[in-house]
Structure 1
Amino acid sequence: MSDPWGEARGRAATRARSAARDRSGVRDRSSSVPHQRHADDGGPRRASHGGRAATRQAAHSRGRRANRRARPAARRRRRIARIALFTVSALILVTAGAGAWLYEHLNGNINSVSLDGKGGQEKADAFGRTPINLLVIGSDGRNNAADCKLGGGCGSASSTAGHNADVEMVVHVSADRSNATVMSIPRDTMTEVPACKDPDTGQSTSGFHGQINSALQYGAACQVDTVHQLTGITIDHFVMLDFAGVVKMSDAVGGVSVCVSDNVYDTYSHLKLSKGSHTLKGKAALEFVRSRHGFGDGSDLGRTVSQHLFLGAMIRKFKSAGTLANPAKVYSLADAATKALTVDTGLGSVSKLVGLATDLNKVPSKRMTFTTMQTGADPTNPDRVVPAAAAKTLFATIANDQSLTSSSGKKKAATSASPSPVATVPASEVAVEVENGTTTPGRASAIAQALTAKGFSRNTTTGNAPEQSSKTTITYGPGQKAQAQTAAAALGVPASHLTQGGTAGVVLVIGSDWTSGTAYTSSGDSSSGPADTHAAIADAHAQTADKAKSCAKVSTYKTVQINGVPMTPAQAYAAATTKKDSAP
């Protein structure tokens, strides 16, 4: 049964709500059917809206918690990054500071001396490259406590009055850095020492004929100039070591391995070694390189050969990976070298010394040739020597940048050369008129002095040529060819430079192809061709630096003595039972 009032009231209420909805534009969902339908359909939608909000709220909460956790981690990462950056920066600064300190420290060790252009000037090859010619000097001075103790003779007048060049080696590195030659000049060589003055001591000389090693008393530049004049080889640089320097260098590389052919005891240098191989350090190394009575014929010639073996072993040690790859050894070597060396100003910094070492290191050991200048007995003193004729060819190979080995390290075959004439008239019967055809002052005097020192007539004269000459020539009068040949042979002037004139006398005109030295080397003279490399090493005791198994030949002569009794070095070794060996 229905209630009419109720229906009416429902319709009125519906109309009222509809009117209200129309007026407000908002639908009243509380009682309409659609509202119910929405209620049925919209329930889940309202639940969905509530889920997203809850999800956002949860996510927000999780984010806050994650942010709270992430912020300390981020701060830690930033802090670690700052610490790392600071540490790296500090390391860079410390390393740079240490490097700068080390560089200045090593630079401060170096003692340098100016050459003042004494050694001449190199000529570049077709590619603009220049060779390096370095004079290595071993000083026998005892002008400080260390050298005095090592060298002996402390306190005597002779031990402290100047010093001589105990060792002289011309080290030539080719322009292309593919090969090198090391030529020893015996200290007993007689030659012309030019006018010199030591800038440090003020000691000076107007020039004299004497032993080549004595030039060092007037400064290292004087020694360089003397070698330059004797050989005609341009000398770019020098390095000089004293007794203490040899000790420091041998210790810095951890010792140098050498071999001796027999038991040896040199009672002068105090070297005492048993037959076989030894590693020499410190004083033992110095005793070995100074020993002149223990090896060869007991003279300075035998000593140069043993020195070459020592240097070859040291070079191999330098090149070994164990030395160059070890920072401690490299520093020790650099520190010892800079403290031990006196050099010219052209090498007076660590960077320049490193550059020189780099150039030397480019040359393979098998293409480093050690030689000794060929000599003959000095006619005025049997205890002294003079350069032999063959030495002029050896000088020429160095001056002309010719290698003495092939690419395989073997000795080169002979090359064609224009030889000097053979002397057929005694020098004492030949007077030469020497004329300077160059712009270099004093050339005529230097050559004239060299001639008279070789025994030429005292009637030899000097003067200036009527005009400058590009080529050195010897002109002779009718019937005087033999005299001209004697002069040419003494000076090393090729036969192609001799011509006959119409006036009596032998006239030597010095050309611009010979601006230095007293031995003509054909440097820059294409007409004479290359030097004979086979002749250059004849009787020069040539050997290469890679010969690790070579032994120093102990002298078989009675070159030493014990208690006044002459003995061979091997006999002295057997007799000196209480003398401790220099090395195990």
Structure 2
Amino acid sequence: MSDLRDGSADRATRRRTAKVPNQRTDQPADRRPPGGRAAARAASQSSGRGNSRRRVRPVRRGKRALRIAGACLAVLVLVTAGAGWWFYEHLNGNISSVALDGKGGSEKVDAFGRTPINILVIGSDGRTSAADCKLGGGCAKTGVQSGNGNADVEMVVHIAADRSNATVMSIPRDTMTNVPACTDPASKESTSGYYGQINSALSYGPACQVATIHQLTGIPIDHFVKLDFSGVVSMSDAVGGVDVCVSDNVYDTYSHLKLSKGTHTLKGVGALEFVRSRHGFGDGSDLGRTVSQHLFLGAMIRKFKSAGTLTDPTKVYDLADAATKALTVDDGLGSVSRLVGLASDLDKVPSKRITFTTMQTAPDPHNSDRVLPGAGAKSLFASIANDQSLTTGSGKKSATASATAQAVDPSRIAVTVENGTTVSGRASQLATALIGKGFSQGTTTANAPTTTTTTTLTYGTGQKPEAQAVAGALGLPSSHLKQGSGSGLTLVIAGDWPSGTSYPGNTGSAGASSPAPADTHAAVSNAHAQTADQSKGCAQVSPYKTVSLDGVSMTPTQAYAAARDQPDSDSGS
């Protein structure tokens, strides 16, 4: 290696017509009173009092009408403003919020100062009201329960910093993991931490569930949204029902979902039965349920985006009223304006670029009924944490998957490091650091043509993933990357980086660096990936004997045929 610095104008005119002052040109000459204004007044008076009244009265009526209209308008404005203020305060009063206190970390801004949004959506199985007891059952002995229940639905919703794409990742409730030390500020229930089923963390409050997901995935989560059984019912009713499809006749005797093969519009209890069904679909476990829930959410998103839903004032009111009553959120979302902003951010994302996935799992060797994160899960977590899209602009699976897979093999990446500072040995320091991090032994050093003030990493056509890997290893922000006309990677160390092997200010704070990209091909492999625009997908009914009717085990399709007297879940729609 060598490092020398280590030793005219036209004016328009108007045609004017001469006019006698005060001349009334709208009357024929023979009708004009002679003698000027005095004669005109005399002629008017000689015509009688009746004529005088007839000439004045229309003006008085006009003024009275204007006054009445003005008063009505003022009243209308006041009533409308008052109703709007009441509506806003009413909705704000519906919202329940809980502080997170930073337990989920902080999302990182991108090179342009934009921030992604990561939200944990929690579906609670708590029977904390009479309505929930009626819908979920199980309260015959215990009655209405207190506390938060378990998080039977856990979805990390990621909205990209540039709002061009989104990812929804489900984490099965049967996942085993470490739950950190937590205290629920409401119930004062606390734990010093334990190893257990991931959905149990909600027992110590929503913030504990957020902290548990953050610890498992490494994804910063600044927000959460929690809803219960009755919330699902009210939300599905507010949007006028959600269209779903099932691949065969199905009767889940546990959730009570009963549908014939084909497409149905589900409202209220029927919608709840569908999203709760875990014995009706797939292999009869929670894994099959996550896929059917994605189909339901995709259909709901399409309904939100369809013409008429968000432009009909009555529907908007019903939806807003239902949503604010149904949701418990963190303080950061605890107002109507913030929830509207969140809805607006999600609305910017095309349906074809909203990807639904389920965390890859492997069997727990200690318990066949439980699972652990499987192969590909770390890549899925990293793609969300790194704000990487799982689709291209056309909505297909990411075309950068193969290039990204190469990028995570640093041994094939050689870099030319140039010293553009006045400090001797800088290029050698960085080259040695890169080789030490596993990059190619072919990495070389040289002097930059001139001293510079801003460090840059230039890459050739098709080599952006490699450049991102180098930048991630050195903590170099993505704003310092640029595409050149040649080939290869050239890192020019400038005056803004006078010492050290990690770019100044890179202490893991938001926006300080661009981490090496995750392998998006591995991220979607075996993750049941689908996009929200896929309207023709059907929930696959389980072919196994996952349900029981009158003490006899059978498949959900067999149960449908045997339960002829049981009404279908859409019969009341």
TM-score range, shorter chain: 0.7 to 0.9
Corresponding residue of 1:353:
339
Change (3 A) 1:53 1:143: closer
The answer for the alignment partner of 1:4 in structure 2 is none
Determine whether 1:107 maps to 2:92: yes
Correspondence for 2:404: 416
Distance 1:389 1:420, change over 3 A: farther
SS at match of 2:561: helix
8 Å contact from structure 2 (residues 282, 541) kept in 1: yes
For residues 530 and 362 of structure 1, the distance between their equivalents in structure 2, rounded to whole angstroms, comes to: 24
1:87-486 pair list within 5 angstroms: 87-157=72-142, 160=145, 162=147, 163-413=149-399, 414=401, 415-417=403-405
Structure 1 position 71, deviation (Å): 2.1
The root-mean-square deviation of aligned C-alpha atoms, in Å, is 2.9
Report if the CA contact (8 A) 1:140-1:243 is conserved: yes
**Which residue identity does 1:553 align to in structure 2?**
Q
CA–CA separation in structure 1 for the residues paired with 2:329 and 2:261: 36
The answer (yes or no) to whether the contact 2:232–2:272 under 8 Å persists in 1 is yes
In 2, the alpha carbon distance for the partners of 1:395 and 1:189 equals 15
The one-letter code of the counterpart of 2:525 is: A
Paired AA for residue 92 in structure 2 = N
Q: Tell me by how many angstroms 1:70 deviates.
A: 2.8
Partner AA of 1:230 in structure 2: L
| Structure 2 CA distance for aligned equivalents of residues 76 and 235 of structure 1 | 66
**Partner SS state of residue 377, structure 1:** strand
Instruction: Give, in whole Å, the separation in 2 of the partners of 1:225 and 1:580.
Output: 42
Per the alignment, do residues 52 and 320 of structure 1 end up closer, same or farther by CA in structure 2, a change over 3 Å counting?
A: closer
Structure 1 residue identity aligned to 2:516: G
Residues 236, 271 of structure 2: 8 Å contact kept: yes
Deviations, residues 8-38 of structure 1 (Å, cap 9, x unaligned): xxxxxxxxxxxxxxxxxxxxxxxxxxxxxxx
One-letter amino acid of the structure 2 residue matched with residue 408 of structure 1: S
Residue 566 in structure 1 maps to residue 553 in structure 2? yes
User: 1:182·1:368 contact (CA, 8 Å) conserved in 2?
Assistant: yes
Say which SS state the counterpart of residue 121 (structure 2) adopts.
Answer: strand
Matches within 5 A, 1:53-64: 57-62=42-47
Inter-partner Cα distance in structure 1 for 2:36 and 2:175: 111
Q: 1: CA distance between counterparts of 2:378 and 2:304?
A: 32
SS of 1:389's partner is: coil
1:213 aligned partner, one-letter code: N
Alignment partners' CA distance in 2, 1:50 and 1:312:
84
> 1:583 maps to what in 2?
570
Instruction: Please tell me whether the aligned partners of residues 514 and 523 of structure 1 are also in contact (alpha carbons under 8 angstroms).
Output: no
Q: Secondary structure at the residue paired with 2:88?
A: helix
Local SS of the residue matching 2:63: helix
Distance 1:234 1:56, change over 3 A: closer
Q: Is the 2:355–2:530 contact (alpha carbons within 8 Å) kept by the matching residues of 1?
A: yes
2:529 aligns with: 542
CA apart distance, 1:127: 1.2
Secondary structure of 1:321's counterpart equals coil
Using structure 1 for the length normalisation, give the TM-score: 0.73
Q: Is the 8 A contact 1:153 1:159 kept in 2?
A: no
Q: State the distance in 2 between where 1:268 and 1:59 align.
A: 94
What is the one-letter code of the residue matched to 1:546?
D
Structure 1 pair 535/235, CA: closer, same or farther in 2 (3 Å)?
A: same
- How far apart are residue 161 of structure 1 and its match? 6.1
The secondary structure found in structure 2 opposite 1:202 is coil
- Is residue 399–residue 523 contact of structure 1 (8 Å, CA) maintained in 2? no
2-structure distance, mates of 1:306, 1:323: 23
Amino acid aligned to 2:129 = N
Specify whether residues 72 and 560 from structure 1 end up closer, same or farther in structure 2 by C-alpha distance, changes over 3 A only.
same
Q: Following the alignment from structure 1 to structure 2, what is the Cα–Cα distance between the partners of residues 223 and 252?
A: 28
Query: Alpha carbons of 1:55 and 1:514: their partners in 2 closer, same or farther (altered >3 Å)?
Result: closer
Distance 2:37 2:313 in 1: 68
Q: In 1, are the aligned partners of 2:169 and 2:357 still within 8 Å (CA)?
A: yes
* Offset, 1:396: 0.6
Using the TM superposition, give the Cα deviation of residue 303 of structure 1 relative to its aligned residue in structure 2, in angstroms. Answer: 0.2
The 1:539–1:65 alpha-carbon spacing in structure 2 relative to 1, beyond 3 Å, is same
Unaligned runs of 5+ in 2: 1-33, 411-432, 439-469, 474-504
Amino acid paired to 2:237: D
Shift of the 570–54 alpha-carbon distance from structure 1 to 2, 3 Å rule, reads closer
Whether 1:79 and 2:64 are equivalent positions in the alignment is yes
In structure 1, the residue corresponding to 2:568 is in which secondary structure? coil
CA contact (8 A) 1:244 1:340 kept: yes
Over alpha carbons, which structure has the higher Rg? 1
Counterpart of 1:550, as a letter, is: G
Residue deviations 1:208-248 (CA, integer Å, cap 9, x gap): 00000000000000000100111000111111110000000
- Matched-pair contact (CA < 8 Å) for 1:400–1:530: yes
Q: 2:41 and 2:513 mapped to 1: Cα distance?
A: 99
For 1:475-529, what per-residue CA distance to the aligned partner results, in whole angstroms no more than 9, with x for missing partners?
A: 9xxxxxxxxxxxxxxxxxx9x99xxxxxxxxxxxxxx98979xxxxx99765x62
What letter corresponds to residue 89 of structure 1 in structure 2? Answer: A
Amino acid at match of 2:344: T
For 1:297 and 1:372, locate their aligned partners in 2 and report how far apart those are by CA, in whole Å. Answer: 15
Q: Give the 3-state SS of the residue equivalent to 1:137 in structure 2.
A: strand
Question: In 1, are the aligned partners of 2:44 and 2:52 still within 8 Å (CA)?
Answer: no
Deviation at 1:52, TM superposition (A): 11
Shift of 1:160: 2.9
* Whole-Å separation in 1 of the counterparts to 2:512 and 2:558: 52
- SS of the residue aligned with 1:160? coil
Tell me if the contact between 1:396 and 1:523 (Cα under 8 Å) persists in the aligned partners: no
Amino acid across the alignment from 1:312: G
One-letter code of the match for 1:561?
S
Q: CA deviation at 1:268?
A: 0.6
Which runs of 5 or more structure 1 residues have no equivalent in the other structure? 1-48, 422-469, 476-493, 498-511, 517-521
Q: Distance in 1 between matches of 2:272 and 2:210?
A: 23
Deviation of the 1:116 alpha carbon: 0.8
Superposition deviation, residue 157 in structure 1: 4.1
Q: Is the 8 A contact 1:141 1:159 kept in 2?
A: no
Do the aligned residues in 2 keep the contact of 1:271 with 1:287 (CA within 8 Å)?
Answer: yes
Shift of 1:156: 3.1
Q: Read off the aligned partner of 1:583 and give its amino acid letter.
A: D
1:580: how far off?
1.2
Q: Which of the two has greater helix per residue?
A: 1
| Counterpart-to-counterpart distance in 2, 1:317 and 1:104 | 27
